[in-house]
Each structure stands twice: as structure tokens, then as C-alpha cells.
Structure 1
């Protein structure tokens, strides 16, 4: 009888812990609003005052998980140069390629792009677009490279339905990539 009582208390404690662990993380994202499937990300850098455009891509045919990326370019930029920067997102997993960039633009009040260079002196990004609530989006902007060096450029697309407040905190990642960054 005593063993059965301990077993029931243990089971109750385990169930309570499991329930608490499965609780919403507090990101305030609607449960029915799923993340986008993105298989291709392309960063476009147009050098200020010229027609020179350089693009760098990430491609993973099956999306996050599964097979490794088939392409993951190193972002290589001129030192101390200003660029107009745009970004494109595609879902190439279907026979008809879906332009996710258009969807992000239409749902701009639910998405935020964050560009983080490490070290920060390699690249500074300034947003060039805003949503209907005057919060940044990040599909277009200005990137200014610093002195020559090597590092990383983290590109995050945050999905923030019903929670976007201009900060990266709410929501979840549709994309979270660390490009190698070379400024020369």
C-alpha cells in the first residue's frame, strides 16, 4: 500500500512537471500562425554610386533539418563602403517556387529582420523600410562596411504575429543563419 501511494505521488509530480514544461514560452505568437518554409535566402548588395551588384546565397532544398545546405556563400564586401542591401526569400520545395519575400512584405506587421555582424565593427545596418505600425521590417536598408576583417553576419527573420513591437524578443525564427563575413 505504501509503495502504491509513493508511486501515485511520483506519477502526479511527473505529470505536473511535464505539463509545466509544455507550457507556452510566453512569446505571444498565435498557435495557428506557423513559420514559413524557406529553402533559399539571397542577400543583395548594391554598391552606392555604382551599378555594381553582388549577391550571396544560402540554399537548403529541404529546409531546416534533414540534409545539409547545398550552398552557403561567404559574404565578401569592400572595406569602408556603403551598400543598398535587399534580401530575398524563396520556398523551392514545391514544383512551383513560392516567393516568400512577397508574403513577408504583405505581412510586414508580423515579420522583423535582424542583421548582426560579429564583430560589430565589420558591418552596420540601417533599416530602409517600415510596416504600417512604423516598426522596421528589414527587406531593404543600407549596409556600411568597416575596416578589413573576418567575422560572421547573423541574419534572423523573426515571425511575430500579434506581438511585433520593433524588438527581436517576441516570436520565433523563420530564418536564423550565420554567414561567414569577409571585409577586404
Structure 2
């Protein structure tokens, strides 16, 4: 039996179109990479006095273990808190704090105390879409005790030209993820 050649251009176009669509994977294009951060400083100010607690990892991931200060604050006290982040692998040292402030629409600091009664963090700054940033805020400590404070900087750049930052911790990736021990006494 002899077959006739395929003569329906519409049907052929439809089949080829579905084939191309099925093989085309959607690309997710993020526009920025994560920052290299070698030092994080938390500055707590109350009654005109500032205490600074630091994380330092001058050689970056791998190599020597980082050093992390224990945060020691007074119980039942309200502090103004600011954060400073640096890349000390560069000469001169790169102040990433300024970059985060400039790109605040793409960054979110998250402060998670364990136990949750240890302290309460209230954001003091917003981005252009009125979403939290976390470069500055206030901390209200709880009763005397110990615990941890997880400090995360979520890098949430646009994806395919659209903002990914939505006020939650979900989009993006960590530029910083540090656990500080905390003592309230």
C-alpha cells in the first residue's frame, strides 16, 4: 500500500508547535549573585551606650572556623539595633551594608530568637514597596535567660525581570546565616 505525503500544513504546524513548547524549559534568570560576607557586626544601643557583637570569618567558607561573639544584654530592656556587614577579602574592605541599603528592594534581614520569648525584633526600615529590610530596628529583651539569635540576610533579586521579594523568607537565598548565642543577665 502506498501512503500519500502529509498535506495539512495547519496540522503539521500545530504538531511542531507542541513539540517546541514541550522541549522548551522555562528559564529563571536571577540578576544578581550572593555577596561574599566575612564579617557581621550587631550594634545594640541603650541609654547612650553601644555594645557590638561580631561574627568574623576572614577566609570565607572553608579554611578556619569563624569566630562568633556571645550576645550579652540586660533583660527587659529596649535596644536600638543596627547591623554592619563587610567583605574583608577585598582591599580596601568592602562595606556590604551600603550595598544592601542601595539594593534594599532585593534584601531582607530575618532575626529569629530561640526561644521566642528571648527577645522581640521590630523592623525600623522599609524598602520602596514598603516591605521590611532590617538594617535598623529595635530589640526588646525578655526575662533573664539564654538562647540563640539566628541572623539571616536573604538575597531576593528579581526573577525574569519581576521582583521576587514579597516580605516573606521564602524567595531567594542566604547571603548570611549565623547563630549567635545570647545571654540576658
Does 1:36 find its partner at 2:35? yes
Partner of 1:155: 151
Structure index of larger Rg:
2
Q: Contact 2:59/2:89 (CA < 8 Å) preserved in 1?
A: yes
Match of 1:176 in 2: 177
Structure 1 residue 106: deviation in Å? Answer: 0.2
Partner of 1:61: 58
Question: What RMSD in Å do the two structures reach over aligned CA positions?
Answer: 1.7
Q: Following TM superposition, by how much is the alpha carbon of 1:152 offset from its aligned partner in structure 2, in angstroms? A: 0.4
Quote how far apart the aligned CAs of 1:123 are: 0.7
Distance 1:64 1:107 in 2: 24
Please show how residues 14-25 of structure 1 align to structure 2 within 5 Å. Answer: none
Q: Gapped runs of 5+ residues in structure 1?
A: 1-22
Matches within 5 A, 1:1-184: 30-47=29-46, 50-69=47-66, 71-162=67-158, 163-184=164-185
SS at the partner of 2:117? helix
Counterpart Cα distance in 2 of 1:96 and 1:104: 18
TM-score (norm: length of structure 2): 0.81
Q: Helix, strand or coil for the counterpart of 1:120?
A: coil
Q: What's the secondary structure of 1:154's corresponding residue? A: strand
Does the 8 Å contact 2:31/2:157 carry over to 1? no
SS at match of 1:42: strand
| Higher-helix-fraction structure | 1
**CA shift for structure 1 position 178:** 0.3
Q: Which runs of 5+ in 2 are unaligned?
A: 1-24, 159-163
SS at match of 1:43: strand
Q: What displacement does 1:32 show?
A: 4.3
Match of 2:21 in 1: none
C-alpha deviation, 1:65, in angstroms = 2.8
Spell out, residue by residue over 1:64-117, the C-alpha distance to the aligned partner (whole angstroms, 9 max, x if none). 333211x21001110000000000000000221000000000000000000000
- Displaced runs of 4 or more, over 4 A: none
Distance 1:65 1:54 in 2: 29
Q: Which residue of 2 aligns with 1:5?
A: none
